[in-house]
Chain A
Amino acid sequence: MNYSGFKIFWEGLTGNKGWKKAWREPDPKKEYDVIIIGGGGHGLSTAYYLSNRFNVNNVAVLEKGWLGSGNIGKNTTIIRSNYLLPENQPFYELSLKLWENLENDTNYNSMVSQRGVLNLFHSDSQRDAFVRRGNAMILSGADANLLNENELKEMCPYLDFENARFPIKGALLQKRGGTVRHDAVAWGYARGADIKGVDIIQNCEVGGFIIKKGKCIGVETNKGIIKAKKIASCVAGSSSKLMSKAGIRLPIESHVLQAFVSEGLKPVLDNVITFGAGHFYVSQSDKGGLVFGGDIDGYNSYAQRGNLPVVEDVCEGGMAIMPMIGRARLLRMWGGDNGYVNGWFTVY
């Protein structure tokens, strides 16, 4: 079933009786060409591109909970390719190009909103660093604009430019960056993969691997043994736990990252804004809530919730650049388990 404006109009006139489920709920087959463990952003996009770009359709995605119950449904929804290093920037830029075309690609409204990502800078040396970063972005084919204080004031007059400790001197802007409705990403990919025959199996937890002569030929699940020629693990913060079942130790620690949403406010914040002198990033959702986050809590955790010191730290970061949010109340907060390579480089 194709989604379109006409379809919505037609269904509106005929009592919305024609909508079908967006994906099937099949029982697992005995064997697949490829098994993907984890129905999050990476697992579902892998299934989607395998089936839609590379014609590999005999694929199963095994998810222990429900689709998008991991980090893909918990993040602060920011998309961007404003990195520096030649090793990672092309990767993020390719991703941003995929995001830009995601809705056409999947025929699913994932609310991709290229509202611009502003990285604030607070000193001369930081301006220099951001000029360098902007140039690296442009060299990789991405877009970057450097805004001086006055240009930034026109866009975001409410920022605390005169802050005594961290005055705001300008920003690096990536106009193509923005936000996207996180769980619609999971749903869009799931539907697109399902249409091509990928089996998406929820409530199916992988508890072990079947390894014969050094080769992995299948997985043990609570729905029985499922065999496959190739197996991919996309389980984010649970990677160490899962791979230990195959006797593999990883260079990863699991950490909790928290996210926060304020009560709904009238439209006030058009872009994504990040603080350059501390860890704080914020955007406003279409429902009006300020969606923001900051640092990881910083100790190993599988608890999927964080502690109060980081809540305080993140809110202080927000107050340092936009004191106007001081009266907004926090509505919800939660945490997701990410995998970090030792030395704090995220792999999620």
Chain B
Amino acid sequence: MIIQHPDLGPRDSSEFVYKGDAALLFRPKRTENNDQKIFHDYLYLRNNPAGKHCELWYHEYGDRSWLVVTRDTTTHEILKVEHVTDYIKSCKAK
């Protein structure tokens, strides 16, 4: 798979470390009545969709940026690549 890095252009996926579902970016806030269930679900449960999946790829053997890659898990087709900061911004805007 070739990942279109927003700054560096096309990079081979083997330069990256895969870090899983981008939903992990949205860690629940700790509160007084810290709900165990919320943290259990955040830590362990995954949607694991067959189809479009937003996921974290860390450019370890490159510029060490964190990217969010939107990829189709049934075909491996890469639909979108963006910096984590831009992804979070666009999620918050929604």
Contact = CB atoms under 8 A, between A and B. Distances in A.
Interface of A: 238, 240-241, 244, 249-254, 298-303, 307, 309, 342
B73 A307 contact: no
A240 B48 contact: yes
Contact of B50 (A241, A252, A298, A309): A241
Contact of B46 (A249, A302, A303): A249
Contacts of B43: 342
B18 A250 contact: no
Interface string B39-73: 00101111111100101000000000000000101
Interface of B: 1, 12-14, 18, 20-21, 41, 43-50, 53, 55, 71, 73-76
B22 to A, nearest CB: 11
A298 B18 contact: yes
17 contacts: A240-B46, A240-B48, A240-B49, A249-B41, A249-B46, A250-B46, A253-B48, A254-B48, A300-B20, A300-B53, A300-B73, A303-B73, A303-B76, A307-B13, A309-B12, A309-B13, A342-B46
Contacts of A238: 50
Given A307-B13, A309-B14, A250 B48 contact: yes
A251 B45 contact: yes
B20 to A, nearest CB: 7
A253 B18 CA distance: 13
A249 B21 CA distance: 14
Given A253-B48, A299-B55, A300-B20, 19 more contacts: A240-B46, A240-B48, A244-B47, A249-B47, A250-B48, A251-B44, A251-B46, A253-B20, A254-B50, A254-B73, A299-B13, A299-B18, A300-B21, A300-B53, A300-B73, A301-B73, A303-B74, A309-B12, A309-B13
Majority-rule SS of B interface residues: mixed
A250 B13 contact: no
Contacts of A302: 50, 73-74
Given A307-B13, A309-B14, A301 B46 contact: no
Contacts of B1: 307
B76 A300 contact: no
A207 to B, nearest CB: 13
Contact of B75 (A253, A303, A342): A303
Contacts of A250: 45-46, 48
B21 to A, nearest CB: 8
Nearest to A241: B50
B76 A342 contact: no
Contacts of B45: 249-251
Contacts of A241: 48-50
Contacts of A253: 20-21, 46, 48
5 smallest CB-CB distances across A and B, nearest first, come from A240-B48, A309-B14, A251-B44, A249-B45, A302-B50
B47 A240 contact: yes
A123 B47 CA distance: 41
